[in-house]
Amino acid sequence: MTVQEQHDYFDLLLDKEGDPYFTRENKDMYLNMAHLEYIKRMLPSNEGGSVNIEATQLVYNNLYTLVKELSGFTMDAGGLVPTANIQTSLNTATSGTDPLMYIMNVSMNGYPVQYTRHNDWYMFETNSLKKGTTTQPRYKYDTSNITFSPISQAAAIKITVLKTPRSVDFQNGVNSELPEHTHKSITELAVELASVSLREGDLTQLNSLQENK
């Protein structure tokens, strides 16, 4: 669907219920919220996601347009790759500025790099059996850097990320970046999110009744 078609379907679903009119800006907002909610439900996390994005090819096909493999990274003398460098590489690859959402995979000289929790990092670094090696490297990351073990400034690093989708924009004709087959579900989810505001009056009345008990 184009953003126009998503707006039309949004209106159609609401008109069936006789609900109030939403502006184009309102519909853009709910559609963009729905995109993020749709993605979140595809990610295994404590925020409600229960599906592994790469569990099967069918699942992966729902988000594959947001997956980017980035290369050309090198670490500094402290084993650090700034997350700002990753974002710059992503901006170049997509000709946009949408932030990365999820680091999916990291490799160093062709070897997979194992994600390591901060709680385990220093314990593993002092354990010769668990610390990172050239063939079994490790990484951790925070808001500023990805940290690698072992340190090798000559290492070739690749990082696969899931990016935040660009915002749909009716006025400027910016369509959804997700695959075509997801657009119907995303628009229906946008209507579901919008329905919260439509029930605001009922919720206010319910709260009033509770307070008067």
pTM beyond cutoff 0.95: no
Sheet with 157-163, side-by-side order of all strands:
67-73, 157-163, 100-108, 111-112
Identify the band that residue 207 occupies on the pLDDT scale cut at 50, 70 and 90: very low
Q: Is residue 208 assigned to a domain?
A: no
Do 152 and 74 share a structural domain? yes
Looking at the structure, tell me whether residues 75 and 153 fall in a common domain.
yes
pLDDT in tens, 81-122: 999 999 999 999 999 999 999 999 999 999 999 999 999 999
- Over 90: is that where the pLDDT of 174 sits? yes
The band of 203, judged by pLDDT with boundaries at 50, 70 and 90, is very low
Q: What is the mean pLDDT of the chain?
A: 88
Residue 19 pLDDT > 60? no
Tally of structural domains, the chain: 2
pLDDT in tens, 145-168: 999 999 999 999 999 999 999 999
Identity of the amino acid at 129: L
Instruction: Judge if 74 and 113 occupy the same domain.
Output: yes
More confident residue, 130 or 41: 130
Query: Higher pLDDT residue, 209 or 77?
Result: 77
What is the secondary structure of 52-116 as a DSSP string? -TTSSHHHHTTTGGGEEEEEEE---TTSEEEHHHHHHHHHHHHTS-PPEEEEEEEEETTEEPEE-
Q: Note whether 55 and 76 are same-domain residues.
A: no
DSSP 77: T
Enclosing domain of residue 194: 3-59+178-198
172 within a domain of the structure (yes/no): no
How confident is residue 52, by pLDDT bands cut at 50, 70 and 90? low
- Residue 203 inside a domain? The answer is no
Q: Please, are residues 89 and 157 in contact by the beta-carbon 8 Å criterion?
A: no
What gap in Å lies between CA 6 and CA 13, rounded to an integer? 11
Indicate whether 30 and 90 sit together in one domain.
Answer: no
CA angle 147-152-156, nearest 5°?
A: 90
Residue 213 domain-assigned?
Answer: no
% of the chain at pLDDT higher than 70: 85
Is residue 120 included in any domain, yes or no?
yes
Q: How confident is the model at residue 205 (pLDDT cuts 50, 70, 90)?
A: very low
Residue 169 lies in a domain: no
Residue 157 lies in a domain: yes
